[in-house]
Structure 1
C-alpha cells in the first residue's frame, strides 16, 4: 500500500505546488488591475467554507473576490495531468505553466493601456496590436518577466535531471484516475458554485449582455473570463450565430420612433451652416485638461485657445470609447451609436449600414472623403469607409513622404497635404481627418520638445504635453492654410479628441496635474474629458457648459446644417438645444449636468457610486437610478442595432 501511496503523494504535492504558483500569478494580475482577489485571507476563507458546509452559513460573502473561482479554474484546466505518469506530468505542468503565465502577462499588458481584457473580438484585431510597435514595448517592465522565472528554472532542472526524474514505480492507473477525478470535481465545485450562487441572486444579466469584459472577470476570474468569452464567441458566431430577436428589433424601432416624435427645439443656430463644407478633425489622445492650461507660464495649446474664442466650444464633453479606442471614437462621431463593449465595430461588423454623417451629407449632394496617413487596412478602414458613405479614402499611400513624427508623417504635413487634396473636391464637401502624431507613448524628436517642463510631473506627462503642444502648432499651420486657400470662411471646421491618454488612472501624475478640483469626482471628470470645437462662419464664439459625448457630435452638426428633421436612427442629442446634458459611457457610468453615476464592475445599481456635481459629495445611488436605467437601455438598443444590422433592414422597409 505504501508503495502505491508514495508516488501519488509526490505527484499530488507537485500538482498542489503548481496550483499555488499559478494562483499567486493571478493575485499579481489582480494587483496590476487594482481588482479584488479575496476579501479574506486563506485561513479566514477556510473558516467560512467550514461554516458554509457545517453550519449552513451564507455563501455570498465567499464571493467577495475571485479566489474560489480562480483556483477552481486552475484545477479545471490542469487536473488531467494527475492521470499521467510522473515524468509526463512534469512536462505537462511545465507547458501549462508557460501557457497560463503568458495569458496572465498578455492580459496585464493589454489592461495597462485599454483597462480591459483581451477578448475573442480583440484577438480578431491582433494585427492592430502588431502595428503598435514600440508602444506595446513601452508597456512592459522587466519585473513582468519574473512571471516566467519558474518556467525557466524548472525547464533547466527538467533538462538536466530528465532521465533521473522518475519513480521506481508509478502510481496505480486506477488510483491516478480516481485522484484526478476527485481533484476535477473539487475544481468544478470551486468554479461553478460561486457562479451558480451569483446567477441565482439575479446575476444572469451579466452573462446575457456582457456589457464589459472586466465585469465578467470580477465574477469569473481571469481564466474563467477567457473560458466564457471563448464559449460566447463560438456560440454567437459559429454554433449559433447571434440574431437579434423580433421583440428586440421591434423595441429598438419603437425607441427610435419615440425619439423622433420628441419636439425639435428651435435654436438660433439651426441651419447656420447650411450649404457650407464640413472639415472634421479627430485628434489623437487629445484631452480637454490641456485647453487654456499654462505650465511654467507657457500655453500648452495657444492655437486652440485662440480658436476657442472664435468657436462654439463645448467644455464638458467626454470620450465614450471602449477597446476599439480610435476606431470607436470615429464610429460614434459618424454614426451617433455607442461602440461595442469588446472589439471594434469596424472589425466585427465592417459591412454594416448606418444613418452615418457621410451617408446623410452624400444624400444631400456633398462630396465625401476620409484622410488618414496610415495603413488602409488598419481597423478595416478601407472596407468600412465606403459603407459609411465616403467616396474616397486617402491613406498613407496617397501622401507625399514627409518627416516621420511618431507613427507616420507628422500632423503638420498630414494636415497641410490633406488641405491641398480638399481643393480637388467638389463643393460642398465633407472631409474627415484622423490625426496621429500625439499617439502613445508620445515621445517626440528633441527639436519639437519646445515646452520648458523638466520639473513637471513624470516622464509620461511631460512626453504627452510636448506631443499635444506640437499638434497644436500643426493645427495653427492648418488653419492658416485653410484661410490662405479660401476654405476657412466657407467651411465648418470641427476638432475633437478621440480618447484619453492612457495615463489617467487614479493618483497618477497626469491625473493629479489635470484634476484641479483635487477630489475623487474630479478624477472621474478629467479622466475621459475631451475638447470639442465647432467653428461656424458667421457664428460668434461661445463656451457651452453642457455634458455630452462623441455620439452627440453628429446630431449637433445636423442641426447646424439644417438636416436633422428626417427619421434618422441616432442615439445622441443636439448639444445646442438647451436641454439637460447627458453622456453615457460604454461600461455603464453616466454623467449629466447635475449628477455623475460611476458604475461598478458587476453593473449593479447599488454597487455604483452617485455624485452630486454641485456639492461634489456622494448621495444615495437611488438618486442616480434614472441615469442607470438610461445607460442600460441605450447601450442595449445600440448593441442590437449593430449586431442585427438593423438600419439596413429599416432602410429596405422604408423604400
Structure 2
C-alpha cells in the first residue's frame, strides 16, 4: 500500500478512469447522441479515453506540482463538459469558439436563462474533482513524478487510442470531419473534448478564408443561382408596390401554438388564430426556422439576406464586418427609409455594428424606451409597453418605410409577471412548458394591441405586415410534457422535425390571403417580399425560393444538414416518409435532396466566410458604407 501511495501513475490512472466514467454518464444522461448500432454504442463508451489520457497526461510533465496540475486540468475539463451540458439542455447543440465570443458580448442578458437550466444534482459532474483533492491530501499525499518518460508513454498510448477510435468512426461514417454539418456526430464518434479541438481548428480555418478569397470563387454560386432561380407569381408580383413594410419577430414562438386549446378549451393565441383564418392574410402552416447557434440573430440574417447562418457561432458576432446586400440596402434604391425597434441595448448581439452593414438608417434600442423594472423582463422590454412606446417613433418615420420589431417577452424561461396576463399557466409536469403557454398568450395580447394601434393611426391599410416565429422555444428536453400537452404518446423523429415549424403571416392590404400549405423556410422570405413589392430578385445572390410562386421548391434545409420536403424528411442518418411518419421504404429516397442541401449550405458558408459579396455588383444596387450610419440614441432635451 505504501508503494501504491507513492506511485504517481496509480493516481493518474484513477483520475483518468473517474473522468472517463463521468463523461460516459454525461453522454447517457444529458446528450442525445443517437446510437443506432453496437459500434456506435462502443464508440460512445470508448471515445472519452483518448481525451482523458492526452489532456491529463500534461500533468506528468510537472515533477513538483503534478497533483495540482492534474487536478487543475481535470477541473477545467469538467467545467467544459458541464458548460456543454447546460448549453445542450436548451440548444441541443455543443458550444463552439464563436459561441464563447458571443457570450463575451451578450453575457449581461443570459443569467436567468442559464440558471433555469441548472439543478443542484449537477454537482455530480464535479465529484471526481472533489474526490481527487481528498485523495491528493490524504492517501497520495507524498506522490511526486520522478521521471517525464511516463508522459511520453501516455502520449503515445493516447494517440494510438485516438487513431483506433477514428478508424472505427470512419468505418461507420466515412468523411466524418469533412462532410458532417451536425456536431452531434463529431461528439458521438470522437468525443466531446476531441470535438472541441476540432472546433478550434475549424474556427481558425474559417477565420482565415477571407484573406485568400477572390471573385472567381463566385462562379459556381452564380451558375447555381441562375439554375435554381424561382420566378415570381405573375398575379401577385408588385401587388404591394410602394407600401410600407413591418416585420415582427415573435420570440421563440412555435407553430403548434396556432389553434392550440388548453384542456379547458381556452385558446392560447386567439388573435394569431384569427389572422390564420381571416382570409385576408397569408398564413404558412408548413414554414420552418433554419437558425443555428445565433438563434434570433440568425433568423434576422436569413430573412434579410436569403443566405444561411453559419455552422459555428453567429454571423452577427463573427462576420459583421462583411459586405452584404440585405433588404434594407436594396430598398434604399426605391426610396425606402429603414429602422429597427428593439427593447434591449444596441450592443446586444453586436446589432449596432451588424445593422450598419445591413444598411439600417435608424436603430431604436433600449435607450429610447422606459426601461423600468415594471416594463422589463427576461431579455429586455416587455412586449406590451414595447409596442406602445414604439408607435410614436414609428409614426415619425418618413414613408415608405421598412421596419423590424423584435419582441422579447416569450423568451426562455418564459416567465410572466403577475398582472401582465390573466391567462393561467399549464399543468403538464414541466415548468418550461407550463410557463410557455402563458408567455405565448401575453405576446398574443401585445400583438393585438399593436395591430389595433396601426389601424387607429391609418398605417394598417398601407403596410405589408410580416409576423414570423424566429426559432423554437421548447426543446427536446421538454418533449415528455409536450407530448402530454398535445395528447400523444411520444414525440417521434418526424414530429421532432415538425416542431421546427414556426408560423409565418404575411398581410398585404387589398390582397386575399388564406392558409398556405407549401413547405418553406426563413431563407425564402426575402424573395417573397421583394416580389410582392415589384422588385425582381434574379440579379441577387440568394438561396431562397418565392413562397408564393407556382415554381416554389418543395424542400427546406436545416443548418445541421437535415431537411424537410413534401414527401420525405431526413433526420440524422435516417430518411422518413411524410405520409406514414415511419422510415421510408427506400432509405435512398432522401439522397437527391440531401446532396442539394449540403451543396447550398457549403456555398452559403463560402460566401459568408470568404466575404464574397464584396466582389459581386448587382445591377442598380448601391453598396452600403457602414460608416454612413450612426446610432447615437435619443436627442437629449
- TM-score, normalised with respect to structure 1: 0.87
Q: What's the CA shift for 1:498?
A: 0.5
2:435 match: secondary structure: helix
Equivalent positions of 1:43-442 (< 5 A) are: 61=39, 64-85=42-63, 88-127=65-104, 128-155=106-133, 158=136, 161=138, 165-166=141-142, 173=146, 176-196=147-167, 198=169, 203-204=174-175, 206-208=176-178, 211-237=181-207, 243-244=212-213, 248-260=217-229, 264-295=231-262, 296-308=264-276, 309=278, 310-401=280-371, 403-442=375-414
Contact 1:119 1:226 in 2 (8 A): yes
> In structure 1, what is the Cα distance between the partners aligned to 2:270 and 2:370?
28
Name stretches of at least 5 consecutive residues in structure 1 with no aligned partner: 41-60, 601-607
- Residue 17 of structure 1 corresponds to which residue in structure 2? 14
- Residue 447 of structure 2 corresponds to which residue in structure 1? 475
> In structure 2, what is the Cα distance between the partners aligned to 1:195 and 1:482?
59
2:310 match: secondary structure: coil
1:446 match: secondary structure: coil
Contact 2:20 2:52 in 1 (8 A): yes
Contact 2:432 2:474 in 1 (8 A): no
Per-residue displacement from partner, 1:15-43 (whole Å, max 9, x unpaired)? 11110111112112212112268976xxx
| Distance change (3 Å), C-alpha of 1:202 and 1:591 | closer
1:448 match: secondary structure: coil
> In structure 2, what is the Cα distance between the partners aligned to 1:268 and 1:632?
33
- Residue 53 of structure 1 corresponds to which residue in structure 2? none
Q: What's the CA shift for 1:503?
A: 2.9
Higher-RCO chain (CA-CA 8 Å, sequence separation at least 6): 2
Contact 2:243 2:462 in 1 (8 A): yes
For the pair 1:585 / 2:558, whether they are aligned, the reply is yes
> In structure 1, what is the Cα distance between the partners aligned to 2:545 and 2:387?
29
Q: What's the CA shift for 1:197?
A: 5.3
1:451 match: secondary structure: coil
| Distance change (3 Å), C-alpha of 1:252 and 1:565 | closer
| Distance change (3 Å), C-alpha of 1:570 and 1:529 | same
> In structure 1, what is the Cα distance between the partners aligned to 2:271 and 2:256?
15
Moved more, 214-223 or 338-347: 214-223
Per-residue displacement from partner, 1:66-99 (whole Å, max 9, x unpaired)? 33332011101122433544x7322222112211
Moved more, 548-557 or 562-571: 562-571
Equivalent positions of 1:552-631 (< 5 A) are: 552-579=524-551, 580-598=553-571, 600=572, 608-619=573-584, 620-631=586-597
Q: What's the CA shift for 1:136?
A: 0.5
- Residue 613 of structure 2 corresponds to which residue in structure 1? 647
Measured on the aligned residues, the alpha-carbon RMSD in Å equals 2.7
- Residue 46 of structure 1 corresponds to which residue in structure 2? none
> In structure 2, what is the Cα distance between the partners aligned to 1:186 and 1:512?
49
Q: What's the CA shift for 1:474?
A: 0.3
Contact 1:504 1:527 in 2 (8 A): no
User: What is the total number of aligned residue pairs between the two structures?
Assistant: 612
Contact 2:321 2:354 in 1 (8 A): yes
| Distance change (3 Å), C-alpha of 1:511 and 1:503 | farther
| Distance change (3 Å), C-alpha of 1:36 and 1:276 | closer
> In structure 2, what is the Cα distance between the partners aligned to 1:536 and 1:207?
46
Equivalent positions of 1:511-526 (< 5 A) are: 511-514=483-486, 520-526=492-498
Contact 2:271 2:444 in 1 (8 A): yes
Contact 1:503 1:510 in 2 (8 A): no
1:508 match: secondary structure: helix
Per-residue displacement from partner, 1:365-398 (whole Å, max 9, x unpaired)? 1010111110111111000111111101111001
Q: What's the CA shift for 1:316?
A: 0.4
Moved more, 425-434 or 266-275: 266-275
Per-residue displacement from partner, 1:41-75 (whole Å, max 9, x unpaired)? xxxxxxxxxxxxxxxxxxxx488523333201110
Of the candidates 427, 433, 441, which is equivalent to residue 455 of structure 1?
Answer: 427
Moved more, 484-493 or 26-35: 26-35
| Distance change (3 Å), C-alpha of 1:517 and 1:537 | farther
> In structure 1, what is the Cα distance between the partners aligned to 2:494 and 2:526?
27
- Residue 34 of structure 1 corresponds to which residue in structure 2? 32
Contact 2:232 2:536 in 1 (8 A): no
Contact 1:39 1:65 in 2 (8 A): no
Q: What's the CA shift for 1:243?
A: 4.0
| Distance change (3 Å), C-alpha of 1:282 and 1:177 | same
Q: What's the CA shift for 1:502?
A: 3.5
Per-residue displacement from partner, 1:459-511 (whole Å, max 9, x unpaired)? 21110000010000000100000001110000011100011013344742125
1:617 match: secondary structure: coil
- Residue 460 of structure 2 corresponds to which residue in structure 1? 488
| Distance change (3 Å), C-alpha of 1:517 and 1:421 | farther
2:515 match: secondary structure: strand
| Distance change (3 Å), C-alpha of 1:357 and 1:116 | same
Contact 1:249 1:640 in 2 (8 A): no
Contact 1:301 1:468 in 2 (8 A): yes
Say which one has the larger Rg: 1
